[in-house]
Structure 1
Amino acid sequence: MLKRLAIAAMAVLVWLPTGPAPALAQEGVETAPEIRVTDTPSDTAIRERLEAVLAAIDSVEDIQVSVDQGVVTLAGDVTNARSARELMDIASRVEGVIHVQSRLIEETDVAARLRPATRKFQEMGASALQMLPVALVALLIIAAFWFLGQWAGSRGAWLRRIGLSELASNLGKRIVRMIITGLGVLIALEILDATALVGAMLGVAGVAGIAVGFAFRNIVENYLAGVLLSARNPFDVGDIIEVGAFIGTVVRLTSRDTVLMTRDGNHLRIPNSMIITSAMTNFTRNPLRRLEFSVGVSVDLDLQQARKLGIETLGAMTGILPDPGPQVLVAELGDSTVQLRFLAWINQHDSDFLKARSEAIRQVKAAFDSAGIEMPEPIYRIHLRSPIALTQSDVPAPAPSLPLPDRAAPAPPTSADDVAADYTIDRQVAEDLRSSDEENLLQKT
């Protein structure tokens, strides 16, 4: 027990202050014990440490440092306010600094302002001189791969041998050139240790591709449609096609549009995207073409006799094919007429469609007139709900009768009229192809 009391007394003596007792402001009031700071750096140590740190910074020059009781004062000229803030931040992090005062002055001299930028450009120039041999090697690699791509792109005959069209072959050759050149660029960036630039380039290329795609959407659509048309070959030069409301003879197919020559001899350009997405009729691929027209006859007529006469008339006509032979069908029974539908086939290589149809209508009408077959006009009947009483003065006087002219006998049908194929447009197409130097993807090479 005595031993424990002795240890406690020694501990109290160690913790008691050894200096004189503090004076009391008022009797009976105790003050807080004095706080001592031990092992703090001296002002000289703080100044020397801060001067050594500032000397290690290249952009800091002629900065005076003074320290008094842990308060640091910085004086000198700085290039801008940002540099002043950085210096004060560095000084505040030095051990033992209590407060930092700034007497830094921002330089307004132009030469002083340009000094950091000049130093940076000098460093960049020195670095560029060091990298010059490596950069030359990278440029030589890019040039070599570019020439290799041009050589490989010019050897595109194998693309035609596998069945690709001219436009598709040209697109394939461009893709080959781009792939080979891009491979050379990647190797050059690897040599320059700039592979991180590849990701940035791909990102920029993606954004640029989206922007270009929106800006030139119609051009790209027409180009791709031209590739498909040249690969599928739905028509050739000289074919008569119908696209929507347009009809004409094909002159040429370009990478953007298809040129037709209308029956009026005018050039009609239709975008390729419209042709690839619209219903198209090619009248030339099959040389056989059927013409048709309708004729109204009297309801009192023997329809079998009229059908037989129509078939005989068409069968004896020049240009009408015997196989498949002509047909006459009862199409519709109207109020005052019966509609007969005449069908016949021609060979477009030998006969013109419009001429043959016109001649067929003329000869059928002549045959019906000769046989006395009536083709009446529409009859309208007017029914009055109640009779109207008319006075003698309301009745008009009868018109004087005039002698009717003698009706000439109908001419018998003939078969010597011209129905030969018309090559006017074909000659104009051939002349246009001969005189124009515009690209034509339909011409065989």
Structure 2
Amino acid sequence: MVKSLVYAALCVFLWLQGMGNAALAQDSTESAPVIQVTDVPSDAAIGKRLRAVLAALDEGAGIAVDVKQGVVTLRGSVPNARSAREVEGIANRVEGVIHVQSRLTEETDVSARVRPATRKFQEMGTAALQMLPVALVALVVIIVFWLLGQWAGSRGGWLRRIGLSELASNLGKRIVRLCITGLGILIALEILDATALVGAMLGVAGVAGIAVGFAFRNIVENYLAGVLLSARNPFDVGDIIEVGTLGGTVVRLTSRDTVLMTRDGNHLRIPNSIIITSAMTNFTRNPLRRLEFIVGVSVDLDLQKARKLGIETLQALTGILADPGPQVLVAELGDSTVQLRFLAWINQHDSDFLKARSEAIRQVKAAYDEAGIEMPEPIYRIHLRNPAAIDQLTEPSNRQPAAPQQRAAPATPTRAEDVAADNTIDRQVAEELRSSNEENLLSKT
């Protein structure tokens, strides 16, 4: 009985739910607008229009079109899948088409595959022939501006007249040629109506410039340093310079490095970037150069007498200048000696620095020996904690009486040696300049 009641209640519930869904469906049907189709093209009109469109296309010449109730069926062969998609897209855009069924197949014949490419090349050739007069005009413009740039670049004398060096003038002439030629290229692109390429070319040039800058950073640095050196002119051919621990006589300045000849006669190439960023000493710009050396004398000596004798000795030497005159200064008081500092000036055009310094040291020593001025060696004092034990280690038979120390006889001054300027390196530099064809941004002074 209970089961019967439950079953009956369930049936009533399902019936009520079904009635409610039916009512909702009826209401929605009554409330939704009715779609009315008016002025729809007929199948014949759709087919006629689509055939006319396909006949105007190279790929659609042999395609059959069937239209039934707005459904278009395409049959035939096309050169490739891209052409098939294009034909299907055209059919879908025709008014009145509901659906497109494609029965198109791709052609496998070699001639059919090659035909579109051949036709495209023919079109490109025809377009090139049509553009040939304009292209010739653009080419003439480029050639004219290139020749104008060459002419303007060869007239670089005004750059030298305003004070620029040879390397800087060459760089300026190249920039002038590049700017004039670039202007001609821009005008030619404007004639060809291809100015859109300018932005792309500038972008490519910028990226290429960054890449080249990183790849050839050292070369660019050395070139720019060569431009600055040639403009500032800190040295000339034949000058003796020193850069850090490197030194020698200047042979030439190139766009990449500076060539020196060392005192050994070897060629030394220093990158220009190192020279421009390092401390450099030019010993030749000022012909006067001071030599100096240290002499140690006894602490018991009359220093005024030693100084006076040293000055007189230097004044008597060949090559030592009287103005400014030589000096002897007390440099330092040591444990066993007094350090005297000798200073003297020479003219490098007349005297060699090393030979003059060597002769000055030799003559001062000879003068001090003759005057009896002692130049003692360093004295060291040794303190013995147990002298008796050391005496026992030495046998009496082995002890020899110490011989009296004989003082060396004073040396007599010898004749003066040659201190004239040494031109050996200068002759080698001149021979190098005469025999080599390498560029030189410096001129012999």
Instruction: Give the TM-score band, short-chain normalised.
Output: 0.7 to 0.9
- Cα shift at 1:348: 0.5
What is the match of residue 358 of structure 1?
Answer: 358
What is the match of residue 148 of structure 1?
Answer: 148
Q: Report the 3-state secondary structure (helix = DSSP H, G, I; strand = E; otherwise coil) of the residue aligned with 1:65.
A: strand
Q: Residues 396 and 439 from structure 1, CA distance in 2 versus in 1: closer, same or farther, beyond 3 angstroms?
A: farther
Instruction: Read off the aligned partner of 2:303 and give its amino acid letter.
Output: L
Q: Residues 391 and 116 from structure 1, CA distance in 2 versus in 1: closer, same or farther, beyond 3 angstroms?
A: closer
The residue correspondences of 1:147-296 to structure 2 (distance < 5 A) are: 147-296=147-296
Check whether the contact 1:138–1:191 (CA below 8 A) recurs between aligned residues. Answer: yes
- Cα shift at 1:231: 1.5
Instruction: Read off the aligned partner of 1:374 and give its amino acid letter.
Output: E
Instruction: Read off the aligned partner of 1:395 and give its amino acid letter.
Output: T
CA RMSD, Structure 1 to Structure 2 (Å): 2.5
Structure ranking higher in helix proportion? 2
What is the match of residue 393 of structure 2?
Answer: 394
Q: Report the 3-state secondary structure (helix = DSSP H, G, I; strand = E; otherwise coil) of the residue aligned with 1:307.
A: helix
Check whether the contact 1:73–1:103 (CA below 8 A) recurs between aligned residues. Answer: yes
Check whether the contact 2:310–2:364 (CA below 8 A) recurs between aligned residues. Answer: yes
Alpha-carbon distance in structure 2 between the residues aligned to 1:393 and 1:113: 120
Alpha-carbon distance in structure 1 between the residues aligned to 2:168 and 2:390: 88
Q: Report the 3-state secondary structure (helix = DSSP H, G, I; strand = E; otherwise coil) of the residue aligned with 2:72.
A: strand
What is the match of residue 81 of structure 2?
Answer: 81
Q: Residues 116 and 295 from structure 1, CA distance in 2 versus in 1: closer, same or farther, beyond 3 angstroms?
A: same
Check whether the contact 1:318–1:415 (CA below 8 A) recurs between aligned residues. Answer: no
Q: Which moved more, 1:116-125 or 1:75-84?
A: 75-84
Check whether the contact 2:252–2:260 (CA below 8 A) recurs between aligned residues. Answer: yes
Alpha-carbon distance in structure 1 between the residues aligned to 2:390 and 2:315: 61
Q: Report the 3-state secondary structure (helix = DSSP H, G, I; strand = E; otherwise coil) of the residue aligned with 1:208.
A: helix
Alpha-carbon distance in structure 2 between the residues aligned to 1:264 and 1:35: 107
Q: Which moved more, 1:160-169 or 1:313-322?
A: 160-169
Q: Residues 401 and 114 from structure 1, CA distance in 2 versus in 1: closer, same or farther, beyond 3 angstroms?
A: farther
Check whether the contact 2:222–2:257 (CA below 8 A) recurs between aligned residues. Answer: yes
Q: Where does structure 2 lack aligned partners over 5 or more consecutive residues? A: 1-18
Alpha-carbon distance in structure 2 between the residues aligned to 1:35 and 1:243: 96
Instruction: Read off the aligned partner of 1:251 and give its amino acid letter.
Output: V
Alpha-carbon distance in structure 1 between the residues aligned to 2:319 and 2:64: 113
Q: Which moved more, 1:186-195 or 1:91-100?
A: 91-100
Deviations 1:77-126 (A, max 9, x none): 22222332232233223232222222111223332222222111111100
Deviations 1:306-346 (A, max 9, x none): 11111111111111111111111111122222211111100
- Cα shift at 1:247: 0.9
- Cα shift at 1:153: 1.7
Identical pairs, percent: 81
- Cα shift at 1:441: 1.2
Instruction: Read off the aligned partner of 1:197 and give its amino acid letter.
Output: L
Q: Report the 3-state secondary structure (helix = DSSP H, G, I; strand = E; otherwise coil) of the residue aligned with 2:188.
A: helix
- Cα shift at 1:38: 4.1
- The alignment of Structure 1 onto Structure 2 pairs a total of residues equal to 417
What is the match of residue 302 of structure 2?
Answer: 302
Check whether the contact 2:329–2:340 (CA below 8 A) recurs between aligned residues. Answer: yes
Q: Which moved more, 1:193-202 or 1:348-357?
A: 193-202
- Cα shift at 1:402: 8.1
Q: Which moved more, 1:145-154 or 1:276-285?
A: 145-154
Instruction: Read off the aligned partner of 1:216 and give its amino acid letter.
Output: F
Q: Report the 3-state secondary structure (helix = DSSP H, G, I; strand = E; otherwise coil) of the residue aligned with 2:204.
A: helix
Alpha-carbon distance in structure 1 between the residues aligned to 2:142 and 2:416: 75
Q: Which moved more, 1:312-321 or 1:391-400?
A: 391-400
What is the TM-score with the length of structure 2 in the denominator?
0.87
Q: Where does structure 1 lack aligned partners over 5 or more consecutive residues? A: 1-25
Residue 73 of structure 2 corresponds to residue 93 of structure 1 = no
- Cα shift at 1:388: 7.1
Deviations 1:373-401 (A, max 9, x none): 222222222335x4376388633554545
Check whether the contact 1:317–1:415 (CA below 8 A) recurs between aligned residues. Answer: no
Q: Residues 306 and 77 from structure 1, CA distance in 2 versus in 1: closer, same or farther, beyond 3 angstroms?
A: same
